[in-house]
Chain A
Amino acid sequence: MVEKTVSCPSCHEISTFYGEPGEVKKVTCPRCGTLGKVTFAGPISTDGVAIEVSHLKKVYGNLIAVNDISFSIKKGEVFAFLGPNGAGKTTTVEIIESIREPTAGTVKIFGKDISTSFNEVKEEISILPQEFHSFERLTVRETLDYFSKLYKKRANIDEIIETMDLTSHKNMLYRNLSGGLKQRVGVAMALVNDPEIIFLDEPTTGLDPKARREVWEVIAGLRNKGKTVFLTTHYMEEAEYLADHIAIIHKGKIIAEGSLDELINKYGEGSILHIKNCSTENAIEMIKERGFDAYREGNGDIAVRIEYKERVLEVLSILRHDCVDYDSIDIRRSNLEEVFLRLTGSRLAEDET
């Protein structure tokens, strides 16, 4: 059984559904009742590796920007390359895109070494560079036409415009679009050659939450079409929401890699049960006596670490049995932020400063 969190296309309510790997399930939005289909991530395809990076290194003078990193990305995955600004994400992705020369190491795309055969894979890849701005005085439609005509293999531009929900903006000049729309056009541009691999470098940086959510939906759509997506981001929630496969890069090295569940299980702290406004003085001691790790948080709430979900009931039983007085409880699962904190000793936001 696997879970999948999706946003309702009508009311944007975020809901989690469960299903078998590879299953396509009809679902209903619990808020507005909209019907839809959810495809659960299938067993990771082993029939092909899209990108293979081996012992990649990039040195600028005394600075080692990328320090001997290796990983591989399977076809059809959304791979999130996560790390704070300056960690080496963009340098790595730009080496893979053949924009920068590595100091050492090799990159293969569909088995072809890009140092010698990059031209052979150009038709199969497409990129959205970081902080990308297209030609200001071309319309959306003209922009897509321009980039489409650079390739032999072309997707249907009208379909891309429709898929990206750009129909009503297709005759607007690029310069007059909002930040979110520009990013959507950027992603649309990355689809004009119907590529197998799409590189999106910080596609949501600088966008407001609504625009960010719109771009996420587009990326989720690409995964549903079976495209391989290489996403670099410093937003934990972006990686959590979109990625099948996550690599965390810190100071030029990959410090953790795996699926979201694998990372949280391996490096997270399980789940935390928060007891709000607890007025019983010895509540912590009572919980601790039953073998739980409990502590008071900065806001006065009590936090209880839960290693297995079945133990939640035990804690609730203690609270009821010992007549502990509280307002409410909630359970939060460990997230990538906590994984990052545990691995590096600092929060992602702190590392960005």
Chain B
Amino acid sequence: MNPKIIVVDFVTSVKGWYRSRGTLFWSLAFPIMLILIFGAIFSGVGETKYTLPVQDLDDSTWSHTFVDMLSNISVLKVEEVSADKNITAYIKEEDFMGALVIPDGFGETINKSFVDKNVSFNVSFYYDPSESSVSVLQSVITSSFQEFNMRLSGGHHIIGVNQVSTIGKKFNYIDFFVPGMIGFTLMQTCIYGSIERNTKYRKDGILRKLLTTPVTRSEWILAKMLFMLFLSFVSTTVIAIVGILAWGLTINVNPVMIIIIIANSFLFSGLGMIIGRFVKEEETADMAAGAISFPMMFLAGTFFPLQQMPAFLQSFAQVLPLYYVNEGLRNAMIYLDFDKAILNMIVVIVFAVVFFVIGVLLTKWRED
């Protein structure tokens, strides 16, 4: 192994990259554009009708009156949830944006309020902040309580809403989207970069030329992987900075996130090598890469949470490596759920080892 050769090849790759407008666009400008566009689209637009599960633990005349009032709001479809259900689990299982829980004591507090105007009581609104339209539901519920308070006491604050995120902290869609965008961009960069080296370089005779020079295949692959890692970290940094500046994202940089990015580079470079081995024409290989990466982009929870997809697609997503990259990055960078992040990271590492080893074994410089 000659480190000088590795450095020379790495520097050459970087030069070629920054001189290529197309590559710069796809690895940096395109993801930035998507973040800005998707962030803008999903910041304020919602559905026309929202299902609101309501768990009435009070079961009093007042709570019934309040639920009836909610039912009469045109944009809401109220669905009653039995008292024995765990509401957080229920939201996740049934794929709801949020649910309202009316605790025991609701009716009693209202009755007291006719005597003592200083009493107050909170109902709880459990919600999934990563849902893009949850803010609409929140404002509908807040307005409903304001109207209810108005009717009861002429505006005095008796009933309030205690908002409870189902994932512990208030997140919005862009928090969900940016890690997905990083995962997707790195996947594209590594797959297409790897395919270019294994098809275009073969067609152009570069691999044949290299075979007759003292550079070894392992030195060359190592140099290319260093370059892929460089690209991955540059893309991640740029996307994260745009997320922070444009959407006020809070990103946590930690070893789990870095390991996932490294493993991701090996994983998709390996996948690119495998595609490049079996589909030798550059254009066809690009199409094959598109046929694999584009469905994966949609099915692996890059743009939309898996919960919005039919159950069979959700099961399918669980075999896609990008799903674990996206989830791992979200859990490590944003949600700080390290138990899940480490689990995702392990799955990504296993995928990376399998794909990269197969890719290296299949990559040949020699012709048949």
A residues at B contact (CB < 8 Å): 60, 94, 97-101, 119, 122-123, 125-138, 142, 146-147, 149-152, 173, 189, 193
| A94-B16 contact given A134-B206, A152-B214, CB 8 Å threshold | no
- Whether B208 pairs with A150 at a CB distance below 8 angstroms is no
A98 to B12, CA, bound (A): 26
- B211 touches A (CB below 8 Å): yes
Which chain A positions have C-beta within 8 A of B16? 135-138
In chain B between 1 and 29, which residues have their CB closer than 8 angstroms to a CB of chain A? 4-5, 8-9, 12, 15-16, 19-20
Q: Which residue of A lies closest to B9 (CB)?
A: A146
Give me 15 other A-B pairs in contact (C-beta within 8 A), A127-B212, A135-B16, A138-B16 excluded: A98-B366, A123-B214, A127-B209, A129-B209, A130-B205, A132-B206, A133-B206, A134-B204, A135-B12, A135-B206, A137-B15, A137-B16, A137-B20, A147-B213, A149-B4
Q: How many residues of B contact A (CB 8 A)?
A: 24
10 shortest A-B CB distances, which residue pairs? Answer: A129-B205, A133-B204, A132-B205, A137-B19, A137-B16, A129-B208, A150-B213, A149-B8, A150-B215, A127-B212
- B368 touches A (CB below 8 Å): yes
21 chain-A/chain-B pairs, Cβ below 8 angstroms: A94-B208, A94-B367, A98-B211, A98-B366, A100-B366, A101-B366, A119-B214, A129-B209, A130-B205, A132-B204, A133-B204, A134-B204, A137-B19, A138-B16, A146-B8, A149-B5, A150-B8, A150-B214, A151-B213, A151-B214, A189-B209
| A99-B204 contact given A142-B15, A146-B12, CB 8 Å threshold | no
Which chain B positions have C-beta within 8 A of A127? 208-209, 212
Which chain B positions have C-beta within 8 A of A134? 204, 206
A235 to B121, CA, bound (A): 95
A189 to B213, CA, bound (A): 11
Shortest CB distance B366–A (Å): 6
Interface centre among A132, A135, A136 (most CB of B within 10 A): A135
Q: Which residue of B lies closest to A132 (CB)?
A: B205
| A132-B209 contact given A99-B367, A100-B367, CB 8 Å threshold | yes
- Whether A133 pairs with B205 at a CB distance below 8 angstroms is yes
- Whether B15 pairs with A131 at a CB distance below 8 angstroms is no
Which chain B positions have C-beta within 8 A of A133? 204-206
Shortest CB distance B209–A (Å): 6
Q: Which residue of A lies closest to B2 (CB)?
A: A150
A119 to B213, CA, bound (A): 9
A101 to B8, CA, bound (A): 29
Which chain B positions have C-beta within 8 A of A119? 214
- Whether B212 pairs with A126 at a CB distance below 8 angstroms is yes
Which chain B positions have C-beta within 8 A of A147? 209, 213
A132 to B201, CA, bound (A): 10
Shortest CB distance B20–A (Å): 6
A122 to B216, CA, bound (A): 11
Q: Which residue of B lies closest to A148 (CB)?
A: B8
Which chain A positions have C-beta within 8 A of B366? 98-101
In chain B between 171 and 215, which residues have their CB closer than 8 angstroms to a CB of chain A? 204-206, 208-215
Shortest CB distance A126–B (Å): 7
Which chain A positions have C-beta within 8 A of B208? 94, 97, 99, 127, 129
- Whether B205 pairs with A131 at a CB distance below 8 angstroms is yes
- Whether B212 pairs with A125 at a CB distance below 8 angstroms is yes
Which chain A positions have C-beta within 8 A of B205? 129-133
Which chain B positions have C-beta within 8 A of A123? 214
Which chain B positions have C-beta within 8 A of A135? 12, 16, 206
Task: Render B15-48 as a binary contact track against A, CB cut-off 8 A, 1 for contact.
Answer: 1100110000000000000000000000000000
Which chain B positions have C-beta within 8 A of A146? 8-9, 12
| A138-B213 contact given A127-B208, A129-B208, CB 8 Å threshold | no
**Among A130, A150, A189, which residue has its beta carbon within 8 angstroms of that of B5?**
A150
In chain B between 72 and 112, which residues have their CB closer than 8 angstroms to a CB of chain A? none
Which chain B positions have C-beta within 8 A of A129? 205, 208-209
- Whether A138 pairs with B215 at a CB distance below 8 angstroms is no
A101 to B208, CA, bound (A): 13
Which chain A positions have C-beta within 8 A of B211? 97-99
Which chain A positions have C-beta within 8 A of B213? 122, 147, 150-151, 193
Which chain A positions have C-beta within 8 A of B368? 60, 100
A130 to B365, CA, bound (A): 15
**Among A100, A130, A152, A173, which residue has its beta carbon within 8 angstroms of that of B19?**
A173
Which chain B positions have C-beta within 8 A of A128? 209
Interface centre among A123, A129, A151 (most CB of B within 10 A): A129
- Whether B212 pairs with A122 at a CB distance below 8 angstroms is yes
Q: Which residue of B lies closest to A127 (CB)?
A: B212
A100 to B205, CA, bound (A): 13
Q: Which residue of A lies closest to B13 (CB)?
A: A135
A132 to B5, CA, bound (A): 22
A259 to B99, CA, bound (A): 92
A134 to B213, CA, bound (A): 15
A142 to B176, CA, bound (A): 43
Shortest CB distance B150–A (Å): 68
Which chain B positions have C-beta within 8 A of A60? 368
Which chain A positions have C-beta within 8 A of B9? 146
Which chain B positions have C-beta within 8 A of A98? 211-212, 366
Shortest CB distance A146–B (Å): 5
A298 to B210, CA, bound (A): 51
Q: Which residue of B lies closest to A94 (CB)?
A: B367
A97 to B19, CA, bound (A): 32
A79 to B53, CA, bound (A): 85
A132 to B211, CA, bound (A): 14
Q: Which residue of A lies closest to B4 (CB)?
A: A149
A122 to B4, CA, bound (A): 18
Which chain A positions have C-beta within 8 A of B365? 99
Shortest CB distance B16–A (Å): 4
Shortest CB distance B365–A (Å): 8
Which chain A positions have C-beta within 8 A of B8? 146, 149-150
Q: Which residue of B lies closest to A126 (CB)?
A: B212
Shortest CB distance A187–B (Å): 12
Q: Which residue of B lies closest to A129 (CB)?
A: B205
A119 to B212, CA, bound (A): 8
In chain B between 223 and 248, which residues have their CB closer than 8 angstroms to a CB of chain A? none
Shortest CB distance B94–A (Å): 53
A135 to B207, CA, bound (A): 11
Shortest CB distance A247–B (Å): 21
Which chain B positions have C-beta within 8 A of A173? 19
A149 to B212, CA, bound (A): 14
